[in-house]
Amino acid sequence: MTPRTWAAVTLAGLVVALAVAALLLVPWTRPPAPRADQLAALRDLPAQQVARGRAFHAALRPGGYAALLLGLVVALALGLTPLGAKMITLAGRPFGDHWIAQAVVGGLAVVLLADVLTLPFAAWRHAVVDRYGLSTQSWGGWAVDVLKSYAITAVIGAVALLGFYTVIRLAPRWWWAFGAAGAAALVVLLSFVLPVLVEPVFNKFTPMEPGPLRTELIALAERDGVPVRTVLVADASRRTRAVNAYVSGIGPTRRIVVYDTLLREAPPGEVVAVAAHELGHAKDRDVLAGTLLGALGAAAVVVGLYLLGSWRGLLRAAGVESIAEPRAFALIVAVVTVAGLLSTPLQAFVSRRVEARADAHALALTGDPAAFEAMQRRLAGINLSDPDPPRWEYLYSATHPSTVERIAAARAHARKAGR
- Catalytically active residues are 278, 359
57 labeled part of a ligand binding site: no
Burial class (CB in 10 A: 0-12, 13-18, 19+), 328: buried
How far apart are the C-alpha atoms of 247 and 232, rounded to whole Å? 10
Handedness of CA 258, 261, 264, 268 (dihedral sign): negative
**4 phi and psi, to 5 degrees?**
-65, -40
Task: Annotate 360-375 with DSSP letters as a single string.
Answer: HHHHHHH--HHHHHHH
Q: In sequence order, what are the residues at sequence separation of 6 or more whose Cβ sits closer than 8 angstroms to the Cβ of residue 346?
A: none
Query: How far apart are alpha carbons 29 and 19 in whole angstroms?
Result: 16
Q: Is 355 annotated as a binding residue?
A: yes
Please, which contacts does 377-381 make with residues 24 or more away whose CB atoms are closer than 8 Å? Answer: 377/45, 377/403, 377/407, 378/243, 378/265, 378/266, 378/270, 379/243, 379/244, 379/274, 379/403, 380/45, 380/49, 380/53, 381/46, 381/49, 381/53
Cα–Cα distance measured from residue 134 to residue 126, given in angstroms and rounded to the nearest whole number: 10
Residue type, 383: N
325 annotated ligand binder: no
Vertex 85, ends 82 and 87: CA angle to 5°?
105
Sequence-separated contacts (24+) of 86-92 with Cβ below 8 Å: 86/319, 87/113, 87/330, 88/326, 88/327, 88/329, 88/330, 89/327, 92/326
253, 195 contact by CB (below 8 A): yes
Give which of 356, 403, 415, 251 is closest to 26, Cα–Cα: 356
- With 0-12 / 13-18 / 19 or more C-beta atoms within 10 angstroms meaning exposed / middle / buried, residue 149 is middle
Interatomic CA distance for residues 158 and 179, integer angstroms: 15
Binding site listing: 277, 281, 355
Binding site listing for Zn(2+): 277, 281, 355
